[in-house]
Structure 1
Amino acid sequence: MKNIIIGLVVVCLGGVAYLILNFFVFERQKPVFQSQSSLPTHWNLKDDLVLQFSDESGIRSYSVEILLDSQTLFSENEVVLNKPKKFGISLPKPLTELKDGTTLQYKICVSDWSNVNFFAGNTTCVDVSLIIDTSTPQIEILARSPKISRSGSAFVLFKVKDIALDSVILSNGKNEFRAFRHTFDDIVLPPDEAVFGAFIAWPLENVLFEGSINVVDKASNKSRILLNFPKNLSAPIRKSNIRLKPEFLESKLRTLLDQISDVQYDDFADDRERFLFINERARSKDLEQILEATTTTISNKSYISSGIVPFTPLKNAIVVGYFGDERSYYLNKDFVSAVYHMGLDLASVRNAPIFATNGGVVIMRQYLGLHGNTAIVYHGFGLSSLYAHMSDSTLKVGDEVKVGDIIGYTGSSGWAFGDHLHLEILVQGYAVSVQEWANPKWIEENINAVFEQARTRLLEQIAAKNKPK
């Protein structure tokens, strides 16, 4: 029995010794490189690039080698005595001046303090390719809208010169707008030049507008120029008071709340609470869904590559509600709520067909609590049109819409007082003055002329470049 106990003790001690030697002295886990996903492909030689490694036994040493066309430009080896478990290596910059576009190869090897491999430790090697890019992007405005008004929008086409662009963003001082590549069929530009276009909005809730174009390339070089539009500070705000009749609320609110799955008519104390829910909470939820559709599902494809026509989707229509109306609602002479009307209400005959006046693709087709049966068509350069309160529509998401196609039929679905079309124009989620987009003169001066002016400018530049000296 004594021998058995001694044997078990020896086995246990041997096992412990094996674990200690195997996991702490002779562990075979290589150092982990943790920066692969965040490494850039281009380097401006100004910012430090740091590679992070980790190892439980500690980092023992590292080596760095810079190669150009298989020739070594630089090498170094360092021992790390304090055995850090996490260690960052700052990539050395080349000592000689190199042209933009030059590709450097970095070979970095890191060893740990394990005693495996005859006490040399475990080693991880990483190869990194970096293209030198020290030049900031060059931005040139080719053409733009002549002015911008509060609650309105504008269009700009511009050229960017850079070997590796990353992001091209327009700003109004508060909100950002993505820019889109644009090509003219009869114009070929050098590989490092590209034309971009975008609509930019001055939302009604913004008091100020400070426009700019902001470009960042893959080497983190940045450029910014101002969009000095002449500005019209006045906004087309009209005030109206709407009296809510109890009999209308009784029928309309019950129908609406039945169509919203997470609430019931009897969940509210009275019609005032029910109306506030629809006019504020349901409206806010609608706007969230509209914003998501008009910012995340838009594509680089444009259906208005050379110009557009006014948005007049309803024939023989009369305007029954303007964009920018400040609507105050009263129940039994008591003020209940106030909101801005962010579209244009058009009425014709009951169930009148709604026609597409500009081509596009359907990016939303669903029932929204306040807007009712709704479709959103994306046209290009961040521009979308929204059609709400429809009685019916056969469209589905992904359908391409051509000029003259029927989008749907007018109705009174959602929070509507009668059969009509609620039309909105959205610039990357921000509702803008529909009156502008229905005006032929505004369309011609602010959109179509910009396409033609930009094209003419590019052709003049190409002709001047090719002119014999």
Structure 2
Amino acid sequence: MQVQVRSKSGVRRFQARLEQSGRSFLVLEQHRTAKRWKFWRPRQREELYQFLAGRKSAPQLQDGPARLILEAESDDFRGATATLAMDLSVRTTPPQLSVEPGQHYINQGGSEMAVFHVGPEVVEAGVRTGPHEFRSWPLPGATPGTRFAFFAYSYDLPPRLTPLGFARDEAGNEATATFWFRVFPKEFRSRDLDLTKDFLEKVTQDIYSHTPQLARSGDLLADFLKINGALRREDNRRLADLRFDTEEKFLWREPFRQLADSQVEAHFADHRRYFYQGKKVDEQDHLGFDLAVTANVPVLAANDGRVVFAGYLGIYGNCVVIDHGYGLQSIYGHLSSVAVKAGDRVQQGREMGRSGSTGLAGGDHLHFSMQVDGVTVNPTEWWDQHWIRDRILARFPEEKLPGS
């Protein structure tokens, strides 16, 4: 613990103690000799106290609630005092966590599901892959303490990384557990894109006119690079934050559907190198599929769900995001028009708008992507009925399956 105490007269006495079940345990007490007769001399008016509050300072503490009492007395004639009380939770054993046995095959850039068991003291649990944490949810139809998590192995993580299950109690103690897994590395494509002045003028005009927080510099290339870099990162952050607007139940039926009769123009995790007037000016990763049919074709919901975003979103132009429950969401970008609004319940096949070229798009197409708890994943798995059956549905009680 670190406690900062301020007083115009300085601090004469500080005490910290723990109270539990009618007993009091002194943790720290410090005194300074009063020097009131030297009132004209400057005094230290701020003190920082550091101490450990736990069984090392109070060996008889038990698991459960406790209270930390802090008292300070000023170094003046009055000896004014201040008291602060904090309710704490004492946890001296790690949270209980065990991952169900089973084989977890994960594609780099793909999705997977884990089932595990936690103790009643656990308030937060999930799966961690590198810097990403994926929340867990009570497994429908299972015993209390049985949870599941959809998690992703991000395309940009090294393939030798070890996913971990984690569980935390209310005091912040964490337990971790490994489980059997195998990551299949993927080679993602690289593409060179030649930028033209007409293209730069088109996309900067469209995006800057819809994004008032962006200020144009007067340099066409610099304005494009701001869109392609800083705005791209901000847009992806906003999309990731939509994971907090999810329902704790299945809203979807399997499988998800690709835009009918569409031709794939760009793949998930394509690495793009941008050239202008013969020079490389930027590099970015494309986190989705570009699907083209003809101009202004109806864009249909890939599965049942609830619209959590419908509007203009920077590089994605007119965009719709559907939540399918438990942090699984689908994203539809570059639409020429939008026919739904946030909060709408949609069924698979409902028209949500028309394809277009709004945002950072050179021609009419649909940008389609999916995210698991805010991390973009390869949607081809969610289009695959066999993958959904083997990797997701097989782990649920039959009566609790999506769509049942």
CA distance, structure 2, for counterparts of residue 76 and residue 386 of structure 1:
54
Scaled by the length of structure 2, what TM-score is found? 0.78
| Bigger Rg, structure 1 or 2 | 1
RMSD: 3.7
Q: Which amino acid aligns with 1:88?
A: Y
CA contact (8 A) 1:180 1:198 kept: yes
Instruction: Report the equivalent of 2:91.
Output: 133
Q: Confirm whether residue 182 of structure 1 aligns to residue 138 of structure 2.
A: yes
Equivalences for 1:403-422 in 2 at 5 Å? 403-422=348-367
Equivalences for 1:38-437 in 2 at 5 Å? 49-62=1-14, 67-69=19-21, 71-74=22-25, 80-82=31-33, 85=45, 86=47, 88=49, 90=51, 91=53, 93=55, 97=60, 99-101=62-64, 103-116=65-78, 121-142=79-100, 146-163=104-121, 165=123, 167-168=124-125, 170-173=127-130, 175-184=131-140, 186-189=141-144, 193=145, 195-204=147-156, 206=158, 208-235=160-187, 237-240=188-191, 249-250=197-198, 252-259=199-206, 260-261=208-209, 262=214, 267-268=218-219, 274=221, 278=224, 280-299=225-244, 301-302=246-247, 305=250, 308-327=253-272, 339-437=284-382
CA contact (8 A) 2:241 2:374 kept: no
CA distance, structure 2, for counterparts of residue 194 and residue 188 of structure 1:
6
CA contact (8 A) 2:269 2:287 kept: yes
Residues 293-328 of structure 1 deviation map (CA, whole Å, 9 limit, x = unaligned): 233332374365387523325233333332244455
CA distance, structure 1, for counterparts of residue 73 and residue 94 of structure 2:
38
Deviation at 1:233, TM superposition (A): 1.4
**Percent sequence identity over matched residues?**
23
Residues 73-112 of structure 1 deviation map (CA, whole Å, 9 limit, x = unaligned): 55699661346642537457575645422x3345444322
CA distance, structure 1, for counterparts of residue 119 and residue 289 of structure 2:
40
Secondary structure in 1 matching 2:104: coil
Q: Which amino acid aligns with 2:186?
A: S
Secondary structure in 2 matching 1:441: helix
- Unmatched tracts of structure 1, length 5 or more: 1-48, 457-469
Deviation at 1:57, TM superposition (A): 1.9
Q: Which amino acid aligns with 2:334?
A: H
Deviation at 1:390, TM superposition (A): 0.9
CA distance, structure 1, for counterparts of residue 157 and residue 269 of structure 2:
10
Scaled by the length of structure 1, what TM-score is found? 0.69
CA contact (8 A) 2:370 2:377 kept: yes
CA distance, structure 2, for counterparts of residue 145 and residue 409 of structure 1:
41
CA distance, structure 2, for counterparts of residue 74 and residue 330 of structure 1:
69
Task: Say if 1:290 and 1:205 are closer, same or farther in 2 by CA, change over 3 A.
Answer: farther
Tell me the number of residue pairs that the alignment of Structure 1 and Structure 2 aligns. Answer: 383
CA contact (8 A) 2:114 2:149 kept: yes
Residues 421-466 of structure 1 deviation map (CA, whole Å, 9 limit, x = unaligned): 111122344332222222222222222223349x89xxxxxxxxxx
- Unmatched tracts of structure 2, length 5 or more: 35-43
CA distance, structure 1, for counterparts of residue 259 and residue 27 of structure 2:
73
